[in-house]
Chains A and B, each alone.
Chain A
Amino acid sequence: MASVTGKPIFAGSGRTRFEACVATRDSRLARGAVLALSLAFFFVFLLLPLLAVFVEAFRKGWEAYIAALTDPDAQAAVQLTLLVAAWAVLANVVFGVAAAWAITKFEFPGKRVLITLIDLPFSVSPVIAGLIYILLFGAQGWLGPLLEAADVKIVFAVPGIVLATLFVTFPFVARELIPLMQTQGTEEEEAALTLGANGRQIFRRVTMPNIKWALLYGVILCNARAMGEFGAVSVVSGHIRGQTNTMPLHVEILYNEYQFSAAFAVASLLALLALITLALKTVVEWRAQVHRGAGDRL
């Protein structure tokens, strides 16, 4: 008998616990139908677009591919994308750790509202995320005249792109850290405090080892979104080639000029980034599980 308690006594058979249990085993027909439908859906809607990017990128051959990537405008786009992502990651690590520390280590009124507000940028359309900075810093915006007088350009320049990216990546690090630090509580930090550690020592030697995988996870997601953001950045960028074009915007320009292979070549770099992100994410998830498992045993 496979399961009365639902315990996995089917180790090594490769079956899931639901398949090992008679009561939860689906008929072959049901299993076949569900698997076929869901995998067909997966193939058509997820895998096919991914394949299309790489196949279209190499449609005109290896040399055209390399030429598209070594084009000075493409290079400038790559550099700008890296710069923007670096700012987004840096700002979000500082903010994410600070927010998680304040929210999980202390009690204060309005905490629930604060948690909701941190999630807010997720539900705002990227187009609006760009629009808001035009309203603030654009030529007709609130601070527009002031900025013009001081000869500072924010909109249609790099600072605007960074700001819009900060907005859309805002929740990534904080929302990974908050649930984890909530379950970890404050005992370990308090113990360190009674042993005479100061704030910096507590953070570095007690908190940091506990949250490093969640932090890394947040950074990976934040970086992917920062490098790939299109809508918000497209509103504030001004699309100046070689200056305010990030990689996704460069893809759009090439595509609209019917340079399809070149567009897909640059897109293939971004798709590669997505694949690396997913691989890293899977590794970190696994490491975090091992880490948590080890913590449970202690």
Chain B
Amino acid sequence: MTTSRITRVLPGFRLSLGITLVYLTFIVLVPLGAVFIKAATLSPEQYWEAVSSPRVIATYKLSFGASLLAAAINVVFGLMLAWSLVRYSFPGRKLVDALVDLPFALPTAVAGIALTAIYARNGWLGQYLEAYGIKIAFRPAGILIALIFIGLPFVVRTVQPVLEDLDIEAEEAAACLGAGRMATFIRVVLPALAPALLTGFALAFARAVGEYGSVIFIAGNIPMVSEITPLIIITKLEQYDYAGATAVASVMLVVSFVLLLLINGLQERTRRSEQKVS
């Protein structure tokens, strides 16, 4: 333990750790703990009833299903976009690069009404899609669109740095050994990108499951059809069903914690495999 004594020569340990722990406790830990304590006031039957009524189950299916699908679509197009930004030169590349973060910066409510204006029946794209019988807004498809929007930067921003640091040598070696570009991509590049793609997928999924603002405007919020889990928490709150809202929230929190641990593990593995390479 000599190292710890040496590093503590710098001042401010107690003060800085004190501020950190007090702020963390009062802003994050105590309030989150309140969810579980409140949920525990329900009897097991009441709890089960609250978290597994057909209407609530329908929201889980929709929220998790749409989030999985959106994250999968983002993995495909996010990889293509990251590939274009890293590997190809084209006019406006810097601008596209900067705007990829738009969903991080644009308030979710703004994204929500903008997407609705585009995909509603008389909207920018909606009117043309309507002619082909495709309806997006106020249906699960609209939710999917919103979740794709907010998840895209997670995939691009986790894949992009890994793609930038990729060794050209490995691909050169593959080319020397007679592999075509497609074979090289599938057998050399893709395995190297896999941890980053998986992390991006998990981040996009985690964000999508809890997303509220960008979804509710375009979703239509029809019970059993296009109602997401965060919305049912709000609906229960507005009906003063605090315990019910909290019970559903506790389910979502547990899922979030599991996802967080999973993502941390993935990032740790990505970091370690990068260190091994260098």
Interface residue ranges of A105-140 to B (CB < 8 Å): 105-108, 114, 116-128, 131-136, 138, 140
Task: Please tell me which stretch of B44-52, B191-199, B209-217 contacts chain A, meaning at least 4 of its Cβ atoms lie within 8 angstroms of it.
Answer: B209-217
Q: Is the CB of A274 within 8 A of B234?
A: no
Q: Is the CB of A230 within 8 A of B10?
A: no
Q: Is the CB of B87 within 8 A of A19?
A: yes
Q: In which size bucket is the chain A interface?
A: 35 or more
Task: Please tell me which stretch of A23-31, A61-69, A290-298 contacts chain B, meaning at least 4 of its Cβ atoms lie within 8 angstroms of it.
Answer: A23-31
Which residue of the partner chain B has the closest CB to A277? B105
Q: Is A3 an interface residue (CB 8 A)?
A: yes
Interface residue ranges of B11-34 to A (CB < 8 Å): 11-13, 15-17, 19-20, 23-24, 27-32, 34
Q: Is A83 an interface residue (CB 8 A)?
A: no
Q: Is the CB of A132 within 8 A of B110?
A: no
If A46-B99, A99-B20 touch, does A106 touch B7 (CB 8 Å cutoff)? yes
If over half of B's interface residues share one DSSP class (helix, strand or loop), that class is named, otherwise mixed; here it is helix
Q: Is the CB of B28 within 8 A of A117?
A: yes
If over half of A's interface residues share one DSSP class (helix, strand or loop), that class is named, otherwise mixed; here it is helix
In the bound assembly, the distance between CA atoms of A3 and B171 in angstroms comes to 12
Q: Is A152 an interface residue (CB 8 A)?
A: no
Q: Is the CB of A228 within 8 A of B108?
A: yes
Chain B residues with CB under 8 A of A95: 19-20, 23
Q: Is A252 an interface residue (CB 8 A)?
A: yes
Most buried by A among B100, B118, B206: B118
Q: Is B83 an interface residue (CB 8 A)?
A: yes
Contacting residue for A46 out of B11, B103, B117, B245, CB 8 A: B103
Instruction: Offer 10 A-B interface pairs, CB within 8 angstroms, sorted by A.
Output: A3-B168, A18-B87, A21-B168, A23-B168, A41-B81, A49-B118, A123-B206, A124-B256, A128-B35, A248-B108
Given contacts A39-B84, A274-B107, 14 further A-B contacts (CB under 8 A): A35-B88, A46-B149, A97-B16, A102-B20, A119-B260, A122-B260, A128-B253, A135-B31, A135-B35, A135-B242, A170-B27, A274-B110, A278-B105, A281-B98
